Amino acid sequence: MSPPRIPEDDAARVRRLRALELMDTPPEPSLDVFTRLAADVAGHPIAMVCLIDQDRQWVKSAFGTLAAVQSSRDQSFCGHAILSSGVFEVADARIDPRFRDNPSVTGGLEVVHYAGVPLCMPDGEQVGTLCVVDHQPRTLYPHQRRLLAGLAAGVVQTLLVREQALLAQREAEQRASLEHDLRRAQMRLELALEATALGLWEYDVPTGVVRLFDTWGPLFSYPRGARELPVRALGDLVPGYACALWERELQALVAGRSDRLFVEHEMVDGSGRTAWVASEARVCERDGQGQVRRILGSSRNVTENRGPHGRPGAALPQARRQAQAT
């Protein structure tokens, strides 16, 4: 018995096989159809899709009766077949010096005739075979060899489709996991913001749209929930001096004359009363040319910290004291 030669690129071939995640998996109808067709085309009682791992041959799909679904690679016919570029055929294994004392010939499967076509992946890795076996000497006709090769190509395409489906499933699971983690992180952030009485907002400079996050509304007697509105719409909620203050501070931030915005002014809250709001913000995103794209900020209701006639009280927010100190 002559064991099959191990090709120089076998490590890459084995890696490609294992990337398919086929070894030791249940039978699949999409592959079983090819073994049934291969047996019909060749007129053989047995057909298999065999995969050649580093040191073993494993049957992924089979038509007919098998003695075992796994055998040693160095005793396999398919180990020889993956070294060929086309149909590998043994007319009578009983008299072939490479196979006449092979356990698959002398017992078990009782292989006499064997024909196998390598399953060649797009980059050239031959991960296994589509093969047929008979218990008597045979030689395939040319049209049978062509049809068997065509079926092997169909098996490869099926494996590639299966691989893409697995990748898509894994990516979907990863996205679902990331979305779950993101929702949890967002919930934790909202709880933290509620505890610190901060309302987040984001200003998209190119579009002029302000996005108010969930925690912003309840601070100023507005309904909870994220909302988007044009920045000019905020002018309906604040007095004229506050609009001018915002315009000046935003221009300084966008132009790079300041690295942080801080404003404090009156506004009309959701109940129609006057409230005092302190806001600070920083640039959080620039485009490839360094232009400001997004500004992220936070607001705090500081009405209770104002003294009589709207003068700042003694308990100014620490954020403002820090801003004034810089």
Residue with more model confidence, 220 or 192: 220
Query: Distances from the Cα of 310 to the Cαs of 50, 275, 276, 305, 324, in angstroms?
Result: 84, 10, 9, 9, 19
What are 8-22's pLDDT values in tens digits?
899 999 999 999 999
What contacts 198, CB < 8 A, 6 or more positions away?
215, 219, 298, 299, 300
Residue boundaries of the structural domains of the chain: 10-170, 197-325
Which letter, b or e, does each residue of 37-68 get, where b requires 16 or more Cβ atoms within 10 Å of its Cβ? bbbebbebebbbbbbbbeebbbbbbbbbeeee
Phi-psi map region of 156: left, alpha, beta (phi>0 left; psi -120 to 50 alpha) = alpha
> Binning pLDDT at 50, 70 and 90, where does residue 192 land?
low
Count other C-beta atoms under 10 Å from residue 99's C-beta: 22
Same fold yes or no, 10-170 and 197-325: yes
Which of 117, 115, 120, 77 has the alpha carbon at shortest distance from 98? Answer: 77
β 88-90/209-212 pair status: unpaired
Residue with more model confidence, 172 or 93: 93
> Binning pLDDT at 50, 70 and 90, where does residue 34 land?
very high
Given this model, what pLDDT does residue 298 score? 87
Residue with more model confidence, 243 or 95: 95
What are 138-188's pLDDT values in tens digits?
999 999 999 999 999 999 999 999 999 988 888 888 888 888 878 777 676
Sheet holding 70-72, edge to edge: 70-72, 56-63, 46-52, 126-134, 113-120, 88-90
* CATH topology assigned to domain 197-325: Beta-Lactamase (3.30.450)
Mean pLDDT score, 37-55: 96
**Alpha carbons 138 and 132: distance in angstroms, whole number:** 11
Sheet holding 227-230, edge to edge: 227-230, 209-212, 199-204, 292-301, 274-286, 261-268
Mean pLDDT score, 256-282: 89
What contacts 247, CB < 8 A, 6 or more positions away?
none
What value does the mean pLDDT of the chain take?
86
Which of 204, 119, 215 has the alpha carbon at shortest distance from 158? Answer: 119
pTM above 0.95, yes or no: no
What are 214-242's pLDDT values in tens digits?
878 888 888 877 788 888 887 788 888 88
Residue range 10-170, CATH number? 3.30.450.40
Look at residue 191 and tell me whether its pLDDT is greater than 80: no
User: What amino acid is encoded at 250 in this protein?
Assistant: L
Q: Which of 83-87, 246-250, 319-323 has the lowest mean pLDDT?
A: 319-323
What are 97-146's pLDDT values in tens digits?
999 999 999 987 889 999 999 999 999 999 999 999 999 999 999 999 99
Look at residue 69 and tell me whether its pLDDT is greater than 70: yes
Share of the chain above pLDDT 70, in %: 90
Residue pair 296/281 in contact (Cβ under 8 Å)? The answer is: yes
Look at residue 313 and tell me whether its pLDDT is greater than 60: no
Given this model, what pLDDT does residue 311 score? 45
Which of 232, 211, 183 has the alpha carbon at shortest distance from 295? Answer: 211
Burial class (CB within 10 angstroms; exposed 0-12, middle 13-18, buried 19+) of 235: middle
